[in-house]
Amino acid sequence: MIDVQVRNVSKCFNVPAHGDTSRRLFGFLPRRQTFWALRDVSFEIRRGETLGIVGPNGSGKTTLIRLLSGITAPTTGEIEINGRLASLVEVGAGFQPDLTGRENIFLNGAILGMRYREIARKLPAIVDFAEINEFLDVPVKRYSSGMFVRLGFAIAAHLSADILLLDEVLAVGDVAFQARCFERIEALRREGKTVLLVSHDLAAVERVCSRALLLSAGRIMLEGDPSEVIGAYHAASFARSTEEALGPVVTRGLTFDTADGGPVRTGASLRCCLSYEARETLVDVVVRVSLIWPSGYLCTELSSGQGLRLERGLGEVEFDCSMLTMQRGIYSADVCIERRGDILERRPRCGLLRVGAGRIVQGDFYLAHSTRVRSFSLEVSG
Amino acid sequence: MNGIVKEPYVYSSPGEPHRPRKVIRPVRPLFGSVPDDLSLLARYFGLFRAMTATRLKLRYRQSLLGWLWAVLQPLALMLVYVAVFSRVAGYDAAPSPYPLFVMAGLLPWSFCSTATTTAAGGMLSYQTLMAKVYFPREIVPLSYVAAALFDFLIAFVLLLAMMLFCGLPLSPQAIFAAPIMAIFTVIITALCLLLSAMQVRIRDINIVLPLVLQVLMFTTPVVYPGTAVPEGFRAVYWANPLAILIDDFRLAVLDGAAPNAGGLLYCAFAGGAFFLLAYGAFKRLEAKIVDEM
- Which residues from chain A sit within 8 angstroms of residue B28, using beta carbons? 73
Rounded to the nearest angstrom, the minimum Cα separation between A93 and chain B is: 7
Q: Indicate the residue of B19, B130, B288 with minimum beta-carbon distance to A82.
A: B19
CB contact under 8 A, A103 and B54: yes
Cβ neighbours for B8, distance < 8 A, ≥ 6 positions apart: A46, A47, A48, A49, A50, A210, A211
- Which residues from chain B sit within 8 angstroms of residue A186, using beta carbons? 4
Residue A117 class from Cβ within 10 Å (0-12 exposed, 13-18 middle, 19+ buried)? exposed
Among the listed ranges A52-61, B64-73, B190-199, which one has the minimum average pLDDT value? B64-73
Could you give the CA distance from residue B139 to residue B51 in angstroms, rounded to a whole number? 8
Q: Is pLDDT above 60 for A157?
A: yes
Rounded to the nearest angstrom, the minimum Cα separation between B34 and chain A is: 17
> For B154-176, how does the pLDDT look when each residue is reduced to its tens digit (9 = 90+)?
889 888 888 888 888 888 878 88
Could you give the CA distance from residue B252 to residue A361 in angstroms, rounded to a whole number? 83
- What's the confidence (pLDDT) of residue B273? 93
Q: Is pLDDT above 80 for A379?
A: no
- What's the confidence (pLDDT) of residue B31? 59
- What's the confidence (pLDDT) of residue B183? 94
Q: What is the mean pLDDT of chain B?
A: 82
CB contact under 8 A, A78 and B25: yes
Could you give the CA distance from residue B156 to residue B81 in angstroms, rounded to a whole number? 18
Highest mean pLDDT among A242-256, A347-361, B272-286: B272-286
- Residue to mutate among A65, A111, A196, with most B CBs inside 10 A, is A111
Region A33-44 average pLDDT: 87
Q: How many CB atoms lie within 10 A of CB B54?
A: 21
- A69 in Cβ contact with A165 (< 8 Å): yes
Q: Indicate the residue of A75, A111, A209 with minimum beta-carbon distance to B135.
A: A111
Could you give the CA distance from residue A302 to residue A331 in angstroms, rounded to a whole number? 13
- Which residues from chain A sit within 8 angstroms of residue B50, using beta carbons? 106-107, 110-111, 116
- Which residues from chain A sit within 8 angstroms of residue B58, using beta carbons? 96, 98-99
CA distances from B69 to A30, A105, B60, B229 (A): 43, 28, 9, 33
Could you give the CA distance from residue B91 to residue B94 in angstroms, rounded to a whole number? 9
> For A202-259, how does the pLDDT look when each residue is reduced to its tens digit (9 = 90+)?
878 888 889 999 988 888 888 888 888 888 887 776 665 555 556 788 888 888 888 8
- What's the confidence (pLDDT) of residue A242? 55
Interface residue ranges in chain B relative to chain A, Cβ cutoff 8 Å: 1, 3-4, 6-12, 19-28, 43-47, 49-51, 53-54, 57-58, 61-62, 129-135, 287-288, 290-291
Q: Indicate the residue of A74, A162, A192 with minimum beta-carbon distance to B26.
A: A74
pLDDT class for A381, splitting at 50, 70, 90?
low
| CB-facing half-sphere around the CA of B155: CA atoms within 13 A | 27
Could you give the CA distance from residue B39 to residue A76 in angstroms, rounded to a whole number? 27
pLDDT class for B10, splitting at 50, 70, 90?
very low
- Which residues from chain B sit within 8 angstroms of residue A76, using beta carbons? 26
The runs of H, that is alpha helices, within chain A are: 21-25, 61-69, 101-111, 116-130, 145-157, 175-190, 202-208, 226-242
Could you give the CA distance from residue A169 to residue A150 in angstroms, rounded to a whole number? 12
Task: Work out whether strand A50-54 and strand A194-198 pair parallel, antiparallel, or are unpaired.
Answer: parallel
- What's the confidence (pLDDT) of residue A374? 92
- What's the confidence (pLDDT) of residue A25? 46
Among chain B residues, CA nearest to A189:
B9
Could you give the CA distance from residue B125 to residue B117 in angstroms, rounded to a whole number? 13
- Which residues from chain A sit within 8 angstroms of residue B138, using beta carbons? none
Q: Is pLDDT above 80 for B88?
A: no
Among the listed ranges A50-54, B11-15, B101-105, which one has the minimum average pLDDT value? B11-15
Nearest to B221 by CA among B235, B205, B237: B237
- Which residues from chain B sit within 8 angstroms of residue A82, using beta carbons? 19-21
Q: Is pLDDT above 80 for A309?
A: yes
- What's the confidence (pLDDT) of residue A20? 46
Could you give the CA distance from residue A317 to residue A268 in angstroms, rounded to a whole number? 20
A4: helix, coil or strand? Answer: strand
Q: What is the mean pLDDT of chain A?
A: 83
- What's the confidence (pLDDT) of residue B61? 76
How many pairs of residues across A and B have Cβ atoms under 8 Å apart? 135
- Residue to mutate among B129, B132, B284, with most A CBs inside 10 A, is B132
Phi first, then psi, for residue B18 (nearest 5°) are -65, 135
- Specify the higher pLDDT residue, A148 or A382: A148
Q: Is pLDDT above 50 for A17?
A: yes
Region B197-208 average pLDDT: 84
- What's the confidence (pLDDT) of residue B143? 94
- Which residues from chain B sit within 8 angstroms of residue A265, using beta carbons? none
> For A65-118, how does the pLDDT look when each residue is reduced to its tens digit (9 = 90+)?
889 988 888 889 999 988 888 888 888 888 888 888 899 999 999 998 888 899
- Which residues from chain B sit within 8 angstroms of residue A68, using beta carbons? 24
- What's the confidence (pLDDT) of residue B35? 74
Q: Indicate the residue of B4, B9, B133 with minimum beta-carbon distance to A192.
A: B9
- What's the confidence (pLDDT) of residue B290? 79
Could you give the CA distance from residue A224 to residue A233 in angstroms, rounded to a whole number? 12
CB contact under 8 A, B133 and A106: no
Rounded to the nearest angstrom, the minimum Cα separation between A270 and chain B is: 22
DSSP A196-261: EEE-S-HHHHHHH-SEEEEEETTEEEEEE-HHHHHHHHHHHHHHHHHTS--SSEEEEEEEEE-TTS
Nearest to A230 by CA among A94, A81, A353: A353
Region B277-284 average pLDDT: 88
- What's the confidence (pLDDT) of residue B1? 34
CA distances from B188 to A337, B40, B114, B138 (A): 67, 22, 10, 13
- What's the confidence (pLDDT) of residue B147? 92
Rounded to the nearest angstrom, the minimum Cα separation between B73 and chain A is: 24
> For B226-274, how does the pLDDT look when each residue is reduced to its tens digit (9 = 90+)?
777 888 888 888 888 898 999 899 888 888 888 888 889 999 999 999 9
CB contact under 8 A, B50 and A110: yes
Percent of chain B with pLDDT over 90: 22
- B152 in Cβ contact with B108 (< 8 Å): yes
Q: What is the ipTM of this complex?
A: 0.80
- pTM as predicted: 0.76
| CB-facing half-sphere around the CA of A295: CA atoms within 13 A | 12
Among the listed ranges A185-194, A328-337, B70-79, B242-251, which one has the minimum average pLDDT value? B70-79
> For B22-75, how does the pLDDT look when each residue is reduced to its tens digit (9 = 90+)?
788 777 665 556 777 788 888 888 899 999 999 888 877 767 666 677 778 778
Could you give the CA distance from residue B168 to residue B250 in angstroms, rounded to a whole number? 13
- B57 in Cβ contact with B150 (< 8 Å): no
Could you give the CA distance from residue A323 to residue A271 in angstroms, rounded to a whole number? 10
pLDDT class for A23, splitting at 50, 70, 90?
very low
CA distances from A39 to A9, A12, A13 (A): 7, 8, 12
Q: Is pLDDT above 70 for A119?
A: yes
Q: Is pLDDT above 80 for B145?
A: yes
Residue A165 class from Cβ within 10 Å (0-12 exposed, 13-18 middle, 19+ buried)? buried
CB contact under 8 A, A83 and B19: yes
Q: Indicate the residue of B11, B62, B133 with minimum beta-carbon distance to A89.
A: B133
Could you give the CA distance from residue A356 to residue B3 in angstroms, rounded to a whole number? 10
Checking phi first, is residue A44 left (phi over 0); if not, alpha (psi -120 to 50) or beta? beta
Q: Is pLDDT above 50 for A152?
A: yes
Could you give the CA distance from residue B122 to residue B144 in angstroms, rounded to a whole number? 8
- What's the confidence (pLDDT) of residue B193? 93
Among chain A residues, CA nearest to B20:
A83
Q: Is pLDDT above 70 for A163?
A: yes
Q: Is pLDDT above 90 for B191?
A: yes
Q: Indicate the residue of B23, B45, B50 with minimum beta-carbon distance to A78.
A: B23
- Which residues from chain A sit within 8 angstroms of residue B6, using beta carbons? 50, 208-210
- What's the confidence (pLDDT) of residue B100? 83
Q: Is pLDDT above 70 for B12?
A: no
